[in-house]
Structure 1
Amino acid sequence: MKEPDGNNPLTLRDIARQAGVSLATVDRVLHNRPGVRPDTVRRVKEAIERNSFQPHVAAAELARGRARRFAFVMPSGPNLFMQQIQSYLGEMSGWLSARRLAVEMVATDVFDASVLASSLEALAGEYDGVALVALDHPSVRAAINDLVDAGAKVVTLVSDVPSSRRHYYVGIDNIAAGRTAGALVGRLVGPRSGKVAIVAGSQGLRDHAERIFGFNQVMASEFPGLNVLPVLEGRDEDGRSEQLMSRLFGKHPDIVGLYNVGAGTQGVAKALIDSDREKQVVFVGHDVTVLTRKLLLQGVMDAAISQNPGHEARAAVRVLLALARGEPILSEQEKIRIDIVMRDNLP
C-alpha cells in the first residue's frame, strides 16, 4: 500500500484505495452527499485522518482544467550552486505532478540587464509564476513589474530586486553573509597585516553587492590593519576569475586574505595555487559543491558560507504555489539559513 512521502504525497485515489471504496464514494463523503453507508463514511474519514490528508487542496487541484506552469529563470553557464538548485527541482517531479504543476527552466545571461529583461518579457502571459535570479537594474525591474501586471506571481531567488513589485524573496540575508565572511577572514588572518582581495561575479547582482557591503563593514570596523583592495568582477566565470586573480597576486605579494563572493571558484583557486600562496592566504567563499568540498579538504579553502540549495528550490516552488492559490506563506518555513562550513564539519 502506498504511503505518503515528500515527493509522492497521497491523492484522492490513494485514500479511496486505503478505504476500499471508489473515487466517487470519496467525493460524496468529502461533500457530505447522501447515499453512503455510515461504515463507509467512517472508513474514508479514518483514512483521511490517518494520513493528515488535506482533501480541499487535493480536490481543488483535480478540479482545475489545466496544470499551473512555473518558470525558473536561471544563469546560463557552469555555476555549480545553480545547477544544484535545478537538480533538486528535478527531484520534486512527483510532488509537482500531484499538484498539477509544471516547472520549466529558462537559462539566460543574468549578468546582462538587457538580455535578462528580454528573457523575462518573453514570459509574460505564458506562466502562472516565475522565479528568477535577478540583476538589480531598471530594465529588469520594469520587466518584473510587467510580469506582475500580466498576472504572474514573481519570486526572486538568491538575488533580490526589492524595488520591483515582486511578491517574495527566497534567499539568505546577504549582508549578514558578507559580514560573516569578513569576520572569518579577519579572525583567521590573525595579527598579520596586509591586503585582502575580493572577487565577485558582478556588483550589479544585489546578493553580491550586499555581501561586499557587509564584508567591508566588518573589515573597516574590526580589522583596520587589513587593507581591502578594489573589487574584481569575474562574472562567475572560471577563466576570467583565474586571469584577474593571477594578475592581482603578481601585483600584490602581501595579500593575506581572499573573499570570493560568488562562483568562478575553480579559477580563483587555480590562481591561488599557481601563485604558491594557498598556505599563506586565508580563502573564504560561498556554497558547498563538489569543488568547494575538495578545496576545503585540501586546505586551499578555509571556509564556505553555505545556503541549502534544496531548501531554496522547495521554498521557491511552495511560495509560488501559495501565491497562486491565495494561501498564506509560512515565512518561518521558507527562511533560508546561513551556515559556516569548514573542513572539520563538512556535511
Structure 2
Amino acid sequence: MAHRYKVREIAQQAGLSEATVDRVLHGRPGVREDTRAEVQQAVEDLDKQRTQLRLNGRKFFVDIVMQAPERFCAEVRAALEAELPTLAPALVRARFHFRETESVDDAVATLAGIRGRGSHGVILKAPDRPEVAAAVDDLVAGGIPVVTYVSDIPTSARVAYVGIDDRAAGATAGYLVDRWFGRGDEDAAVLVTLSHDSFRAEGEREAGFRRALRDLAAAEHRPPRRVVDIAQSSGLDETVEDLVTQALQRDPAVAGVYSIGGGNAATVRAFARSGRPCRVFVAHDLDTDNRRLLAEGALSAVLHHDLRADVHRACRLLMQAAGAVTGVRTGSSPVHVVTPYNVPV
C-alpha cells in the first residue's frame, strides 16, 4: 500500500530492515507484534518531526480579545507569556486587547479592527450576543480562525472552545456550599455574584449551581436552599462591594457566597462592614486576590483550572486551523477544588 513516507525513511527511523518494514506496511504475516509496534512508533515519530520542521521559523500573530476584570486579564497575560516558549520552534507573538467593561458595539468594533492586521487567529472572551457571533463569523470567513476562551459563543463559527464544563463546575460549587452549611442550616441563604448576564459561562455556572441545590434538597426531602442573585457588577471591586452591602442589608438570612463573577476581596469587605459572618465562600480562579483570601481563611474553596494549559491549547488549535499542526483535541479542562491546604505553586 502507498504510504506517506518511503520504506527507507521508516526503516532508518525504526532501526529495522527495509524488508521487515515493507512486510508490516503491507500487513503480511510472519512479523512479531512488537516489531509492528516499532514500525508504528517510527511513523508517529516521523509525523512529529515533520511537524517540527514545518513549524521551524514560522511566525504566528495571535490576538487576545478579552472583556474581564484587570486582575483576570493579568493572569491570562502571564499564562500566555509563560507558554510562548513552549510553542517552539514556531514563533508566536501576542497582541492584547483587554477591556474591563465594553459595550457590545465596542466589542464588535474591536474584532472588526483585527482584519487587515495580519492576524493568524483570535483567542476571545466576550459576551454571547448575536452581534458578537456575527463579528466572529466575519473573521472566520476572512480566514482568521477564532477560539473562544473561558466563555463560549457556540452559535458562532469559532473553531473551538477552550475552558471548563461550566455547568459541572457550578454543580460542584452547589455541592460544596450545601454540604458546608450542613444540617440545621436550611434557612441560610447563599449569595450568587455575577459580573454580567450575557456571558454564557456565568449563566451555565449558575444553572449548574441551582440544579445541584435542588437535587440535594430533593434527595433529603426538604426545600432547596434559597439563592440571592447579584448581577451586572462587571466583577469590579467598587461595584461588587456596594451591591453585596445592599444585598446584606435587604436579606438577613444570607450567610454564604458563590462568586461566579469575581470581586471577592470586595465581597469580604462588604461582609465585614455589615458585621456579618460569611460561613462558606466558594469562588473561581487562583488569581493573586484569591490566593491571599484562601491563606487568610476568607475563602472556603476555589474552583481552579490551569490557565497555562488552556492558553497553550488555544494557541495550538489556532495553529492547527492554519494547517501547521495536527492532532490537537478539544474537550473540557479539568476543574480542581483548591483549599488552603492544597494550593498549587
Common fold by TM > 0.5: yes
CA offsets, 1:156-213, max 9 Å, x none? 0000000111000000000001111111111101120222111101110011111011
- Residue of structure 1 in register with 2:312 after alignment: 314
5 Å-filtered alignment, 1:105-254, equals: 105-109=96-100, 112-126=103-117, 127-191=119-183, 192=185, 193-223=187-217, 224-254=223-253
- Compute the displacement of 1:263 (Å): 1.8
CA offsets, 1:56-84, max 9 Å, x none? 223323476xx221111123642x33322
The change in CA–CA distance for 1:217 and 1:337 in structure 2 (over 3 A counts) is same
CA offsets, 1:103-131, max 9 Å, x none? 21112356521111110111124311111
Q: Name the stretch that deviates more: 121-130 or 202-211.
A: 121-130
SS of 1:226 mapped into structure 2:
coil
SS of 2:54 mapped into structure 1:
helix
Aligned length: 294
Alignment check: 8 A CA contact 1:156 1:169 kept? yes
SS of 1:331 mapped into structure 2:
coil
Alignment check: 8 A CA contact 1:236 1:263 kept? yes
5 Å-filtered alignment, 1:294-333, equals: 294-325=292-323, 327-331=325-329
The change in CA–CA distance for 1:231 and 1:216 in structure 2 (over 3 A counts) is farther
Give the counterpart letter for 2:135 in structure 1: A
Does 2:65 match 1:68?
Answer: no
- Residue of structure 2 in register with 1:104 after alignment: 95
- Give the aligned CA root-mean-square deviation in angstroms: 2.3
**Please, what TM-score do these two structures have when normalized by structure 1?**
0.78
**Please, what TM-score do these two structures have when normalized by structure 2?**
0.79
The change in CA–CA distance for 1:294 and 1:62 in structure 2 (over 3 A counts) is closer
The change in CA–CA distance for 1:60 and 1:120 in structure 2 (over 3 A counts) is same
- Residue of structure 2 in register with 1:84 after alignment: 75
- Residue of structure 2 in register with 1:40 after alignment: none
Give the counterpart letter for 1:116 in structure 2: A
Give the % identical residues.
28
Stretches of 4+ aligned residues off by more than 6 angstroms = none
The change in CA–CA distance for 1:232 and 1:118 in structure 2 (over 3 A counts) is same
Alignment check: 8 A CA contact 2:68 2:234 kept? no
Give the counterpart letter for 2:134 in structure 1: A
Separation in 1 of the partners of 2:82 and 2:328?
22
- Compute the displacement of 1:313 (Å): 1.5
Alignment check: 8 A CA contact 2:127 2:198 kept? yes
Separation in 1 of the partners of 2:66 and 2:134?
18
Separation in 2 of the partners of 1:264 and 1:115?
23
Separation in 2 of the partners of 1:175 and 1:90?
29
- Compute the displacement of 1:344 (Å): 2.1
- Residue of structure 1 in register with 2:16 after alignment: none
Separation in 2 of the partners of 1:343 and 1:190?
20
Separation in 2 of the partners of 1:216 and 1:181?
10
Could you list the runs of 5+ residues in structure 1 that have no partner in the other structure? Answer: 1-30, 33-48
SS of 2:78 mapped into structure 1:
helix
SS of 2:229 mapped into structure 1:
coil
Separation in 2 of the partners of 1:274 and 1:135?
32
Could you list the runs of 5+ residues in structure 2 that have no partner in the other structure? Answer: 1-7, 10-41, 218-222
SS of 1:152 mapped into structure 2:
coil
- Compute the displacement of 1:268 (Å): 1.3
Separation in 2 of the partners of 1:264 and 1:329?
38
- Residue of structure 1 in register with 2:27 after alignment: none
- Compute the displacement of 1:299 (Å): 1.8
SS of 2:98 mapped into structure 1:
strand
Separation in 2 of the partners of 1:289 and 1:109?
16
SS of 1:214 mapped into structure 2:
helix
- Residue of structure 1 in register with 2:334 after alignment: 337
Q: Name the stretch that deviates more: 84-93 or 205-214.
A: 84-93
The change in CA–CA distance for 1:206 and 1:225 in structure 2 (over 3 A counts) is closer
CA offsets, 1:247-281, max 9 Å, x none? 11112111122111022122112112222323x43
Alignment check: 8 A CA contact 2:68 2:235 kept? no
SS of 1:132 mapped into structure 2:
strand
